[in-house]
């Protein structure tokens, strides 16, 4: 089992729809969770960080964390073509103290 798993996609949604990106992780003791966006040919850009169970909203983005289910998700409301990118989930696993482990990323395509 991979330490951090994401569906590689592509996930295709129409413009204006809600995109839902999911991530599971192996270490129940993990405390810090991050979502990054990476456009083709560019470096990852931090979108959200979340540390507590529940939802955290920032503009059109909502991160959801469920530590009991070892699951973190990112919702993008009113998706725009400019949201088309690869979204990377990153988890600071307690068993790998200090290492931030990235999932393989989910490619999102927002069609006009």
* Least distance (Å) between residue 86 CB and another protein: 10
Nearer to another protein, 91 or 110 (CB): 91
The residue among 12 and 96 lying less far from another protein, judged by its C-beta, is: 96
Min separation Cβ 57 and another protein, Å: 17
The secondary structure of the chain, three-state, reads: CCCEEECCCCEEEECCCCEEEEEEECCCCCCEEEEEEECCCCCCEEEEEECCCEEEEECCEEEEEECCCCEEEEEECCCCHHHCEEEEEEEECHHHCCCEEECCCEEEEEEC
- Cβ(83)–Cβ(21) under 8 Å? no
Nearer to another protein, 42 or 111 (CB): 42
Q: What are the backbone dihedrals phi and psi of residue 61, each rounded to the nearest 5 degrees, phi first?
A: -105, 135
Work out how close the CB of 15 gets to another protein at its nearest, in angstroms, rounded to a whole number. Answer: 28
**Cβ distance to another protein smaller for residue 79 or 105:** 105
Chain residues binding another protein by CB under 8 A are 31-32, 34, 36, 42-46, 49, 51, 88, 90, 92, 96-105
Taking the complex as a whole, the smallest distance from the CB of residue 8 to another protein amounts, in Å, to 10
């Amino acid at each position: 089992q991979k330490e951090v798993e994401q569906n590689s996609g592509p996930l295709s949604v129409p413009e204006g729809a809600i995109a839902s990106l999911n991530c599971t992780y192996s270490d129940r003791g993990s405390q810090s969770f991050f979502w990054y966006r990476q456009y083709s040919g560019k470096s990852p850009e931090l979108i959200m960080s979340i540390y507590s169970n529940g939802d955290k909203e920032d503009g059109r983005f909502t991160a959801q964390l469920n530590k009991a289910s070892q699951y973190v998700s990112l919702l993008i409301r009113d998706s725009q073509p400019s949201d088309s990118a690869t979204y990377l989930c990153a988890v600071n696993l307690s068993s790998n103290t200090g290492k931030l482990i990235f999932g393989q990323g989910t490619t999102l395509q927002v069609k006009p």
